[in-house]
Amino acid sequence: MTTEGRGDTGVYRALLEAAAEGRPAVLATVIRAKGSVPRGAGSKMLIEPGRGLVGTIGGGCGEADVIAAAESVLAAGRPRVVRVELLDAVESWSPAVCGGVMDVLVEPVDPDVA
């Protein structure tokens, strides 16, 4: 286990609260990180549509892509992996300076975990 996920106590607490109250939520977990990335494998973020976020997987455009994917994950009720490429693209309005790639597991929170 990496040390990245150990600071995510707030994420776990929010996850249990959302599940206990039956609120729709999505857990995003970095499952693979290659190259220079803002957060490593094990980093977590809870996404509650209409309520906000707890934790971070690195911020910026990559995190925005994961947040956008959360809606389709909730609608389908199935997890998916989102690839976040933090590479400098010519057409990008905001060049990513990290230069790495992360795979993020985006999964709906099961209300039965509480």
Instruction: State both tokens at 110.
Output: 């099961």
For residue 88, pLDDT beyond 80: no
**Contact of 57 with 32, CB cutoff 8 Å:** no
Q: Three-state DSSP class for 30?
A: strand
For residue 87, pLDDT beyond 60: yes
Q: Three-state DSSP class for 27?
A: strand
Output DSSP code: residue 68: H
Q: Three-state DSSP class for 22?
A: coil
pTM of the full predicted structure? 0.83
Q: Three-state DSSP class for 67?
A: helix
- pLDDT one-digit tens code per residue, 1-58: 344 445 688 999 999 999 999 999 999 999 999 988 888 899 999 999 889 999 999 8
Which pLDDT score, from 0 to 100, does residue 95 have? 52
Which pLDDT score, from 0 to 100, does residue 54 have? 96
Q: What is the distance between the alpha carbons of residues 29 and 44, in angstroms, rounded to a whole number?
A: 5
